[in-house]
A and B are shown apart, each in its own frame.
Chain A
Amino acid sequence: MNTFGIFLTISAYTFFSWAYSKKKTPILNPVLLSILLIALILKVGNISYEKYMESARFLSFLLGPAVVSLAIPLYKQINIVKEYKKEIATGIITGGTTAILSAVYILKAFNSPEILQRTIAPKSVTTAIAMGVSEKIGGIPELTAVLVILTGILGNALAPELLDFFKIKDRVARGLATGVSSHGLGTARIILEDELSGAVSGLAMALNGVYTAFLLPLIIELIV
């Protein structure tokens, strides 16, 4: 077994994590930059994706158990779920559904291929769940992963400012809006502004993942 892929991935991620720790701006997202650098190296070196994946696959294999592990933060925050159950349910149904329909219908308006509509549909959900859903509904999980990260960068860079601009002041509303629109990367930003907003955002992310995982297979054939 070659170790080229796993070495390349860990090195790139270590380097860009270091760069990010020096200048914490969302566009320096270590995952996105690692993907772009490795893609460039493969292109320039004329190395096939298969060759790279021979060993790198080991890392993405851990996504399955990592998603299962999301049960722990969910369980630990169960009191917040109970306290704001009405708001959380409403926010997730509104946001989760809006995120899917708006993305799919905008691509439709541009006459983009059906496979892209399926690929973009889960883009507001945390990456690991989004990739699983994308695969289930006939999208391209690899592209979904990149679209999810780009969505998260938007939330990380802009969510609090946009919420101010929209004059949304309630802390629970701000957390829910951020979590359902831009998952973990949005959560990482809003938690710096307010602890309650951050906690609600993290929960919204996890529960929107579950909501989308159940909803999309049911409605995808109706909307694409």
Chain B
Amino acid sequence: MYKGLAIIFGFLFLGELIESLGIPVPGSVLGMLLLTIALITGIIEIRDVEKEAEFLVKNMSIMFIPPGVGIILYLDLLKENIVAIVTALIFSFLITLWATGKVVEVLRR
């Protein structure tokens, strides 16, 4: 278990190190990319991290709740812009779904 966690936190640390050099991408995303590359090239073996990583991914949902509760700090901003936000969410979702589906379907013919 500790080996898997050491690998995961090691790549997170590496990602954050690169981020701190001035790359404007979250360190965790950089860590994910580097770990994927390490797995593909065989530097890291999947069985060494699989269990720990899958536990974290499976339990990700609950981790969003504490920051999500932070909406209480922005209720006024939300209220003032609620029509714009709802419109943007619905139409952006529709356009994205439609455009992606159409483009890929045409490509597949």
Contacts and interface: CB of A to CB of B under 8 A. Distances in A.
B92 to A, nearest CB: 4
Contact of B69 (A42, A76, A110, A115): A42
A223 to B, nearest CB: 13
A69 B52 contact: yes
Contact of A31 (B12, B64, B92): B64
A120 B77 CA distance: 13
A27 interface: no
Interface in A139-182: 140-143, 145-147, 149-151, 154-155, 159, 162-163, 166, 168-170, 172-174, 176-178, 180-182
Contacts of A106: 84, 87-88, 91-92
Interface class of chain B by DSSP: helix
Given A132-B28, A135-B26, A116 B65 contact: no
Contact of A87 (B31, B49, B95, B104): B104
A199 interface: no
Interface residues of B, number: 70
Interface in B1-38: 5, 8-9, 11-12, 15, 24-29, 31-33, 35-36
Contacts of B74: 140, 142-143
A56 B85 contact: no
Interface residues of A, number: 100
B66 A110 contact: no
Contacts of B59: 62, 66
B15 to A, nearest CB: 7
Interface in B34-55: 35-36, 39-40, 46, 49-50, 52-54
A174 B103 CA distance: 11
Nearest to B38: A71
A159 B97 contact: yes
Contacts of A107: 81, 84-85, 88
A113 B74 CA distance: 13
Interface of A: 5, 9-10, 12-13, 30-32, 34-35, 38-39, 42-43, 49, 52-53, 56-57, 59-60, 62-76, 78, 86-87, 90-91, 94-95, 98-99, 102-103, 106-107, 110, 112-113, 115-116, 120, 123-124, 127-129, 131-133, 135-137, 140-143, 145-147, 149-151, 154-155, 159, 162-163, 166, 168-170, 172-174, 176-178, 180-182, 209-210, 213-214, 217-218
9 contacts: A34-B68, A49-B73, A72-B39, A99-B96, A102-B91, A135-B26, A141-B70, A159-B97, A180-B100
Given A74-B32, A75-B39, A143-B74, 4 more contacts: A65-B9, A98-B95, A177-B96, A213-B25
